[in-house]
Amino acid sequence: MSIKAIFYSKFDPHEGPKIVHQVPEDSILTTVDVPAINGSGSSAGSTSPALISFPTISRFLIPRQSLCGNLISLSRPPLTPSTPPTLVLSYPICLTSPQYPRNEFIFNFALVLSEPATTDIASYKSVVKKLAHLMRSLEEQSRFLSDDTAFPNSGKIYSLCEMLMEDLNNYCECMIPIDELNTLNIKLFPTLANPASVKPWHVPLFTVRIETMVDENWDLTMLRIIPYINGVNSVKRIAALADADVKLTKKCIKHLLYYGCILLLDIFSFNAIYAPTAEFCDMIAKDVEMQKECARYVNTAFAPTAQEEVIIDSATDRRTSNLTSVTLQDDEIWPLTGKGDPIDGVGIVQLFASLRQGLTVREWYAQNANILANIDMRRFITFGVIKGFIYRVHRYAIRTQKSLNSVPHHGDHNGDDLPDNLTKSMSSERQLNEESRSKRKHSRRTDDRGVPDHHLNQRILDFLDGTHCFDEICTELEISEKELMDRLRSRDIGEAVTICR
């Protein structure tokens, strides 16, 4: 019920700015006097109290010609203490033509919104703009507005405003035919924040039941990649599995992210390091419900098949296909240790708390093998990341020094200490010196795809400026983290410092 009133005002050559039609009637005062307040606080005699007074704001609604053609929003202190605060959105338009009595026709369709603090103003702004542009076209084509001689609050324009207000308030959309050629189509689109950028090493996970929304009319790439979004596959892997272009895949994922259908995680591996965030104490450490939710999610006794990986946001039930709809008793949810004792909420919190910087998942498992016997580790970690009290500690590498047997680098100069790894040279020229050529002959190890060794090292060099995490390097170059670490340690590329953050 956000739209309280809609009114149409114009500049009359004799009377000046005036309101022609308003819905509902008397919601906009046309005189300066504030209505007398009787004991109940509402203005006597009218069905709804007046919201705003037109003469006081007329200079903004029908402004001088240079201000026309812009969206103008007004927030005015309420008429009386009991009138709720309102926001007026308007788009005055000035049309110039010798046909009009003073060479110009200035008009304005304005919306009065209630509770500006809580409504989505941006979607109404586009409504006002669209309405203004449509009216402008109508006026230019057929003098629709200036030929309107109807009595105030009657006629076509009035009924148009009336229908618009009702439909938008009730259905959030409207389709109103104006004449045989023109229709007013308006829909309120919620404004969502721009999505974060999607990288090939991000792992998407659905937060909605996507199969209830998909039909065969959806985009081809989208249809192809949806089966592979399971919280395990990275974007690059999804593209490979679905045989889709990586760019298109990224775009689809971005769309899904924008509409809140997925969230992005990181690639799970046993080499990864996770640590608690600052919110740890306020979330799972205190929240018993969250602990129970976690227990239900990670207990391998209830594990669904691998294809059904979905987490419903803040849902306490799990999507299952092989679980009956029997409600679980409280004590049944807690997973059991290897020895058969249940792990309660406290135990779960302790498990999470034992994650820290410097401790890989593998090591953490080794420390807690008994407790983790019936807990799905990936889900455990994922639960923490989604809720936000665990974060992934990424590794970055910075090249600090060139190696003595330097790999030929683009445009290399001897004794050049500048961090050339920070610049990505696009030059295709390579200075091959005698040394490296001989080195190449010696160490001609090729990796799986047959690319010469030094070529791969070359590409690794580009990533060694401290801003590319290992996930990124491994995904882009399609090598394992172990191999990356080996190469870095081998000093073939020079000295590199690994940072975890």
Does 62 participate in binding another protein (rule CB under 8 A)?
yes
Task: Give 103 or 405: the residue with its C-beta nearer to another protein.
Answer: 103
Among 38, 65, 401, 405, binds another protein (CB under 8 A): 65
Q: Which is nearer to another protein, 53 or 299 (CB)?
A: 53
Exactly one of 23, 87, 106, 397 binds another protein (CB under 8 A); that residue is: 106
Q: State yes or no: residue 494 binds another protein (CB under 8 A).
A: no
Task: Specify the residue, 1 or 32, whose C-beta has the smaller distance to another protein.
Answer: 32
Q: Is the dihedral of CA 331, 332, 334, 339 positive or negative?
A: positive
Least distance between another protein and beta carbon 98 (Å)? 8
Stretch that binds another protein, among 56-64, 235-243, 269-277, 439-447 (CB under 8 A): 56-64
Decide if residue 76 touches another protein (CB under 8 A).
no
Closest-CA residue to 264 (of 206, 191, 307, 193): 206
Tokens of 202: 């991000």
Provide, rounded to whole angstroms, the least separation between the CB of residue 136 and another protein.
17
372 binds another protein (CB under 8 A): no
Among 32, 181, 278, 404, binds another protein (CB under 8 A): 32
CB 49 within 8 A of CB 5: no
Distance CA(296)–CA(310), nearest Å, equals 13
Least distance (Å) between residue 59 CB and another protein: 6
Which residue, 14 or 501, has its beta carbon nearer to another protein? 14
- Please tell me whether residue 11 binds another protein under the rule CB under 8 A: yes
Is residue 96 a contact point for another protein (CB under 8 A)? Answer: yes
CB of 111 to another protein, least distance (A): 22
Show contacts with another protein in window 393-452 (CB under 8 A): none
Residues contacting residue 87 through CB under 8 Å, at least 6 positions apart? 73, 74, 75, 112, 113, 116, 121
Q: How far is the CB of 16 from another protein (least distance, A)?
A: 3
Q: Does 91 bind another protein (CB under 8 A)?
A: no
Given the rule CB under 8 A, which of 8-16, 170-178, 198-206, 232-240 is the region that contacts another protein? Answer: 8-16
**In angstroms, what is the minimal distance from the CB of 139 to another protein?**
16
CB of 17 to another protein, least distance (A): 6
Q: Is 70 in the site for another protein (CB under 8 A)?
A: no
Cβ proximity to another protein: between 96 and 367 the closer is 96
Q: Is 17 in the site for another protein (CB under 8 A)?
A: yes
Give least dist CB 21 to another protein, A: 17
- Looking at the DSSP assignment, which residues form a beta bridge with residue 392? 274
Q: Does 156 bind another protein (CB under 8 A)?
A: no
131-149: buried (b, 16+ CB within 10 Å) or exposed (e) per residue? bbebbbebbeeeebbbebe
Closer of 13 and 41 to another protein (Cβ)? 13
Candidate list 102, 286, 413, 437; residue touching another protein; CB under 8 A: 102
What is the CA 23 to chain-centroid distance, rounded?
36
**In this complex, which beta carbon is closest to another protein, that of residue 110 or of residue 205?**
110
Shortest Cβ 95–another protein spacing (Å): 10
Q: Which two tokens stand for residue 77?
A: 């202190």
Tell the smallest beta-carbon distance from residue 22 to another protein (Å).
16
* Stretch of residues binding another protein (CB under 8 A), selected from 55-63, 127-135, 251-259, 398-406: 55-63
Q: By the 8 A CB rule, do 191 and 122 touch?
A: yes
User: Helix axis angle, 288-298 relative to 377-387, nearest 10°?
Assistant: 140
- Residue 46, SS3? coil
Confirm or reject binding of residue 98 to another protein (CB under 8 A): yes
Q: Outline where 93-201 has alpha helix (H).
A: 121-142, 156-171
Name residue, tokens 């640590």. 275
Could you tell me which of 438, 429, 431, 426 has the C-alpha nearest to residue 416?
A: 431
User: Is the Cβ of residue 106 or residue 456 nearer to another protein in the bound state?
Assistant: 106
- Strand-pairing partners, residue 398, are 465, 497
Is 64 near another protein (CB under 8 A)?
yes
Residue whose pair of structure tokens reads 């006597």 in the numeric block: 44
- Decide: is 58 part of the binding site for another protein (CB under 8 A): yes
Identify which range of 54-62, 196-204, 238-246, 408-416 contacts another protein by CB under 8 A. Answer: 54-62
CA separation for the pair 69, 104 (Å, rounded): 13
- H or E segment at 186? strand 183-187
Q: What is the C-alpha end-to-end distance of the chain, expressed in Å?
A: 48
* Interatomic CA distance for residues 207 and 195, integer angstroms: 15
Per residue, the 3-state secondary structure of 454-495, as one string, reads HHHHHHHHHCCEEEEEHHHHHHHHCCCHHHHHHHHHCCCCCE
Q: How far apart are CA 10 and CA 12, in angstroms?
A: 6
Is residue 107 a contact point for another protein (CB under 8 A)?
no
Residues 128-147 that bind another protein (CB under 8 A): none
Tell me the C-alpha distance between 178 and 138, whole Å.
Answer: 10
Asked if 205 touches another protein (CB under 8 A), the answer is: no
Does the protein bind another protein through residue 33 (CB under 8 A)? no
Are 479 and 446 a contacting pair, CB within 8 Å?
Answer: no
Q: CA 292, CA 287: separation in Å to the nearest integer?
A: 9
Residues near another protein (CB under 8 A) are: 11-18, 32, 55, 58-59, 62-65, 94, 96, 98, 102-104, 106
